[in-house]
A and B are shown apart, each in its own frame.
Chain A
Amino acid sequence: MARIELKDINKSFGEHQAVKGLDMTIEDGELLVLLGPSGCGKSTTMNMIAGLEDASSGQILFNGRDVTDIAPFERNVAMVFQSSLLYPHLTARKNIRMSLKRTKLSSAEIDKRVEDAATTVDVTHLLDKFPAHLSGGERQRVATAKAIVRQPDCFLLDEPLSALDAALRLSLRSELVNLQKRLHTTMIFVTHDQVEAMTMGDRIGVMRDGRLEQIGSPTDIYNEPQTLFVAGFVGAPPMNFFDGAIEETATGKVFANADMRVPLTGSAAELDPRARVVLAIRPHLMELCEEGPESVPLKVYAIEQLGNEAIVVCDGPNDNRIRVVVAPGYSAQIGSTIHARFNADVAHFFDPATERVIPKLTKAAA
């Protein structure tokens, strides 16, 4: 059990700076999901928390104790590497047992723990195989068993479910969350899976280019993205963006560009006029409609049928992709023009210069 604080962590590999001024606190017993594009420094951050890589500068605290220069040996963390690392010359069972080498448990107790961990991730039938004879997903599960067989202060799981099929992934996801909550152990979990991030995390940290873009509860991240990047990265299908301006007219404020003029209602009405603004709206919050001043013309590019809904992927006004969620079974000619509208009240507005959100006054006041 540990509260982990990262203070202004930097990490350079030669010229390349992989992590830049990272400040982050992971509360005791919290499950933090790290999300971010490939190469943004997630694994590097995990390695530094485990003590496998030294930070170039900055401090790492476990329960207030500075562990920056302390060997992984003394940090008591368990980790699943992204490459599902195992000792190649040992069977799965011995690999898992290796994690308990330093414990004072009796041999029978160790056997039981290994058996339990293997059952949790469903690899009991694989225990006597060598890593080279396991499939990628099997190796990943054995590596996960090797981590959860211990009761460390912190679990660091680097994409432990990425190679699994959907059903297995779903069941292991809940197993891991259950285990984490039962033992009340701090856990950091890296994933590229949006659903995994939203459903598992107490909080989500979104990283980009070695920096922490935003950290908060899944609902906050989803509903109140603080930057353009977070807005575009979190959520599937991704947000739609429209460039335009906020103009003051006789009938009230509007979001306007060459194609549309959308009246700003509700909280959006509090925004100050400005020449350049990016409006972001979730595909679920758009609807198809007849042509009109408030609607945006879109050219159908593809239609993705998801079973319970369909996504119309369109070419928008500025050659960017716009997605609209519609009823399942929807069909339209590829290349034909359709129209869609949305309610500005539920849209987000960003300053294109700073890429940060423009706060709506009512929310700030509330």
Chain B
Amino acid sequence: MNGSSARPSRSSEPTPHGAPKPRRELSDLQFALVVTVPVLLFLVVVVAYPLGYALYMSFHDIRFFGGYSAEFIGGENYAGVLSDSAFWGALWLTIRFTIVTVLLGLLIGLGLAIVLRDLPPGWKWLRALIILPWAVSPYGTGIFFAYLGRGQTGFGTAFANALGIDEAINFISAQWVIEYLAFGNAWNMAPLVAFFLLANMLTIPKRLYHLAALDRMNRFEQFWNVTLPPLRFTLFVFSCILTVLALKTFDFIFTQTQGGPGNASSVLTYLIYRISFVNLNLGYGAAMSFFLLALILGLTGALFFFWGRKVSR
């Protein structure tokens, strides 16, 4: 898998025939360090400090009323989170939102990529246009989808009317709001997925489709045996990216539903926001955010363990 161990580092090779020592070249590792150390340092400053501070807060009871005070309370905040029904409700919503986002994002992306690949000559410029949804900010997407989803202004109602059903269809209802939000989120991300998949698809030799034709495969088998295999790695990478992005989605939900109706779209990020910055319960919010971090690491780790190891080259 990993070629670096087998490849001798160039700088350690003996110089032939005692020739004057050539200018030392950097080994792969050295080069990697030179390039990444400044970035790592920067990350330590901008990530580690807040992270450390959050960790500090999560073990304290922080009060603003009657003057600022921070009292060490050990793991009490963490225990509190585990027995908080609001947390478990939000966790379930978050997972639902994430799964639907990832599945829809990949499916829409794949569908778009196939459509873009098969564009007739003269229509290829559409490939450039289709990236536009991705260029819209999550904030903009939120406002946009809020209009589209509501009973009064949305396409559900318009569609029902077109079918002759005189009924307002509201997607932003307690029952479907999570799926609807996930759909908007997927719509936002799918073009990027599609672009990467398209790039992959364009490297598949046309001859392989000829081979599939001679093996008398139908369209589905052809997709499964020729188109999909080279896409597996990209699909895995985007599953991870979409998972992380979905788990930490905030602005999109904030602009669109504010966690409502009721608490129906109050996912973890939104709950943490409310606890920390509306109720100013900073220690408790910080503790909960570490559960979110664990969820992110756990889910991506599981993805890699069960899927990534098979497809990474």
Docked-complex contact A79 and B226, CB < 8 angstroms: no
Instruction: Specify the chain B residue showing the minimal Cβ separation from A99.
Output: B215
Docked-complex contact A101 and B213, CB < 8 angstroms: no
- Say yes or no for B211: interface residue by CB 8 A criterion: yes
- Say yes or no for B207: interface residue by CB 8 A criterion: yes
Per DSSP, chain B at the interface is: helix
Docked-complex contact A51 and B221, CB < 8 angstroms: no
Contact residues of A between 40 and 74, Cβ < 8 Å to B: 47, 50-52, 71-73
**How many A-B contacts are there with CB distance less than 8 Å?**
46
Shortest Cβ distance from residue B219 to the other chain A in the assembled complex, whole angstroms: 11
Shortest Cβ distance from residue A269 to the other chain B in the assembled complex, whole angstroms: 55
Instruction: Specify the chain B residue showing the minimal Cβ separation from A47.
Output: B210
Contact pattern, B 169-207, Cβ under 8 Å of A = 1, otherwise 0: 000000000000000000000000000000000000101
Per DSSP, chain A at the interface is: loop
Docked-complex contact A52 and B216, CB < 8 angstroms: no
Instruction: Tell which of B210, B216, B217, B225 touches A81, judged by Cβ atoms closer than 8 Å.
Output: B210
Docked-complex contact B216 and A87, CB < 8 angstroms: no
- Say yes or no for A77: interface residue by CB 8 A criterion: yes
Docked-complex contact B229 and A73, CB < 8 angstroms: no
Docked-complex contact B214 and A88, CB < 8 angstroms: no
- Say yes or no for A85: interface residue by CB 8 A criterion: yes
Question: In the complex, which residues of chain A have a beta carbon less than 8 angstroms from the beta carbon of B215?
Answer: 98-99, 101-102
Query: A81 and B207 in contact (CB under 8 A), knowing A87-B225, A101-B221?
Result: yes
Question: In the complex, which residues of chain B have a beta carbon less than 8 angstroms from the beta carbon of A182?
Answer: none
Question: In the complex, which residues of chain A have a beta carbon less than 8 angstroms from the beta carbon of B214?
Answer: 50, 52, 72, 77-79
- Say yes or no for A89: interface residue by CB 8 A criterion: yes
Cα A88 to Cα B226 in complex, Å, equals: 9
Question: In the complex, which residues of chain B have a beta carbon less than 8 angstroms from the beta carbon of A99?
Answer: 215
Cα A177 to Cα B213 in complex, Å, equals: 26
Cα A98 to Cα B217 in complex, Å, equals: 9
Query: A87 and B211 in contact (CB under 8 A), knowing A98-B225, A101-B221?
Result: yes
Shortest Cβ distance from residue B185 to the other chain A in the assembled complex, whole angstroms: 31
- Say yes or no for B48: interface residue by CB 8 A criterion: no
Contact residues of B between 107 and 125, Cβ < 8 Å to A: none
Shortest Cβ distance from residue A224 to the other chain B in the assembled complex, whole angstroms: 37
Range of interface residues on B (Cβ < 8 Å): 10 to 19
By a beta-carbon cutoff of 8 Å, the part of chain B in contact with chain A is: 205, 207-208, 210-211, 213-217, 221, 225-226, 229-230
Question: In the complex, which residues of chain B have a beta carbon less than 8 angstroms from the beta carbon of A86?
Answer: 211
- Say yes or no for A83: interface residue by CB 8 A criterion: yes
Question: In the complex, which residues of chain A have a beta carbon less than 8 angstroms from the beta carbon of B207?
Answer: 81, 83, 85
Shortest Cβ distance from residue A97 to the other chain B in the assembled complex, whole angstroms: 10
Shortest Cβ distance from residue A296 to the other chain B in the assembled complex, whole angstroms: 50
**9 smallest A-B Cβ distances: which pairs?**
A89-B229, A72-B213, A102-B216, A52-B210, A73-B216, A98-B215, A85-B211, A85-B207, A79-B214
Shortest Cβ distance from residue B201 to the other chain A in the assembled complex, whole angstroms: 14
Instruction: Specify the chain A residue showing the minimal Cβ separation from B210.
Output: A52
Cα A83 to Cα B207 in complex, Å, equals: 9
Docked-complex contact B213 and A52, CB < 8 angstroms: yes
Question: In the complex, which residues of chain B have a beta carbon less than 8 angstroms from the beta carbon of A98?
Answer: 215, 225
Docked-complex contact B213 and A87, CB < 8 angstroms: no
Contact pattern, A 103-146, Cβ under 8 Å of B = 1, otherwise 0: 00000000000000000000000000000000000000000000
